[in-house]
Amino acid sequence: MIKIDEYKNYCDKVVTELIVNETQNNCDNPDTLIDRIGLQECGINNVINTFRSNIQVYKNHSNRVMEKIQNTPQFPQYAQAKLVDDKINEMYNWYPLDERSTINNGFAKLSKQQIIDTLQLWENTVITLYNNCVDNDTHIGIDADNIPLCVNNEYIKSAQRCGQAIKMSKVYEYGTDKLTNLWTDVSNSIPGNLKGQSLGILDSTNNSCKKWVDMFNIWREEEAKAMSEPCAPERPIISANDPVMIKMADEWNKSASDHIAQLKERLIKITKYVRNYPNILHLNKKDIILAPYSMPATANIKIKYDSSESGESPNHYLEMIIPNGKPGERGDTGVKGIPGYNGYSGTVGDIGNMGQIIESSYYKNK
């Protein structure tokens, strides 16, 4: 006959084997625990490799952007682009066994199906982060020629317009540094930025450079007009020695000289007053104010008196109020985790009050 203890041990062994076979590396069980062997046998390694292959192009775009931009004020999009780059790299390099199960340290924290669902969720996220050109919230990558993707037409258009303005500024020796710095700031702010913001920057830049070109065209037309007008013919002089003519010439010369002196004095005053008048109002980064998304975007021409000297007009500058974007939608609820351990037993309660003492009938009869 089989002893009770032997039968009990046999049953425990069978039950343990059943539990292990069901919950560890059981490829037919989506909630099974997975170790290094299970990753291979259940095809999880193939899923990981496919995931990395599918997001490789987006990782390359993000990494290339981070090679081009720096953590300086010239690249205001750096913090946002760095956050995205770190997240993509973290997803790409993720390995299930980096986090271990609290039930059995030899297995991954996530079950087989949780690993698959996590990788699919990440892939769906990563493919929207860069160069998803139908979405204004996607980030802008750059091609091999450093031309921004998704906004390449707008970028080339603005580059050509500002290039024309810079070329004309060199002819008239006016505004070259301002225009060069403007385009440098614009080209720096596009890689890694959001598509919607990049379109706004390029549209504003194209309009600004167009105003410069229009101004230079007016100058050129006025210059050509002045050159095409013939000089007034010189009045004939009867005799260079005629006293009357000499007196008239002297009087005219004195009168003309006095008038010219008055005009020069007025011109000096006018020149001093309009010295601070801008041909084009420029927007400095410090004059951009972020506001709640419910407020409309506005642009104001501001006046600064403290930097102008006596006789000069006040300085004019541009101030913009730009609303932040609306809060994003709440993400999907994550996958349900495996059941946790039962909690520890609670502390023993206080001892209750002593009950009423009842005298035995034995002592009552004594």
Reported as a single tens digit per residue, the pLDDT across 189-234 is 999 999 998 999 999 999 999 999 999 899 888 888 877 776 655 5
Q: What does the alpha-carbon distance between residue 84 and residue 339 come to, in Å, rounded to a whole number?
A: 33
Does residue 256 have a pLDDT over 70? yes
Q: Residue 260: its pLDDT value, please?
A: 82
The whole model's pTM is what?
0.58
Q: What is the pLDDT of residue 232?
A: 58
Decide if 311 contacts 269 (C-beta within 8 A): yes
Does some domain include residue 26? yes
The continuous run of DSSP H or E covering 51 comes out as helix 44-68
Helices (H) and strands (E) in the chain, counts: 10, 3
- pLDDT at position 128 over 50: yes
Q: With 70 as the cut, is the pLDDT of residue 142 above it?
A: yes
Query: Which of the listed ranges 179-188, 308-317, 324-333 does the model predict with the highest average pLDDT?
Result: 179-188
User: How long is the chain?
Assistant: 366
Residue 7's pLDDT band (boundaries 50, 70, 90)? very low
One domain, residues 87 and 169: no
* pLDDT per residue as tens digits for the range 37-90: 989 999 999 999 999 999 999 999 999 999 999 998 889 889 999 999 999 999
In the predicted structure, residue 255 carries a pLDDT above the cut 90: no
Mean pLDDT, residues 251-257 taken together: 81
The predicted-structure confidence for 159-174, as pLDDT tens digits, reads as follows 999 999 999 999 888 8
Structural domain ending residue among the three candidates 129, 153, 181: 129
The pLDDT of residue 276:
55
- Do 101 and 43 belong together in one domain? yes
Query: Which of 85, 102, 129 is the endpoint of a domain?
Result: 129
Same domain for 147 and 103? no
Decide: residue 39, CB within 10 A, 0-12 exposed, 13-18 middle, 19+ buried.
buried
- pLDDT of 156 above 90: yes
pLDDT tier, 94 (very low <50, low <70, confident <90, very high otherwise): very high
Q: Is residue 295 in a domain?
A: no
pLDDT at 362: 43
In a domain, 268, yes or no: no
Q: What is the pLDDT of residue 359?
A: 53
Asked whether residue 271 is assigned to any structural domain, the reply reads no
DSSP states of 52-95: HHHHHHHHHHHHHHHHH--SSTT-TTHHHHHHHHHHHHHHHH--
Q: Are residues 105 and 143 in the same domain?
A: no
Least confident stretch, 88-97, 168-177, 325-334: 325-334
**CA–CA gap between residue 175 and residue 181 (Å, rounded):** 10
Please answer whether residues 304 and 315 qualify as being in contact, where contact means their C-beta atoms are separated by less than 8 angstroms: yes
Considering the domain architecture, whether residues 80 and 50 belong to the same structural domain is answered as yes
Claim to verify: residue 89 and residue 153 sit in the same structural domain: no
Please check whether residue 294 lies inside any domain of the structure. no
pLDDT at 48 (0 to 100):
94
Two structure tokens written together for 150: 């998704």
Residue 74 in contact with residue 188, Cβ under 8 Å?
A: yes
Same domain, 8 and 115: yes
Q: Does residue 192 share a domain with residue 90?
A: no
Q: Same structural domain for residues 19 and 94?
A: yes
Total structural domains within the chain: 2
Domain termination site, one of 129, 145, 169 = 129
User: What pLDDT score does 322 carry?
Assistant: 74
> In this structure, is residue 236 part of a structural domain?
no
* Residue range of the domain that includes 120: 4-129
Q: What percent of the chain has pLDDT over 90?
A: 35
The share of the chain scoring above pLDDT 70, in percent, equals 71
Q: What's the pLDDT at 271?
A: 67
The answer as to whether 315 is a domain residue is no
Same domain, yes or no: 17 and 114: yes
Give CA–CA dist 257/275, Å, rounded: 26
Same domain? 73 vs 157:
no
Same domain, 52 and 124: yes
Residue 348, domain member (yes or no): no
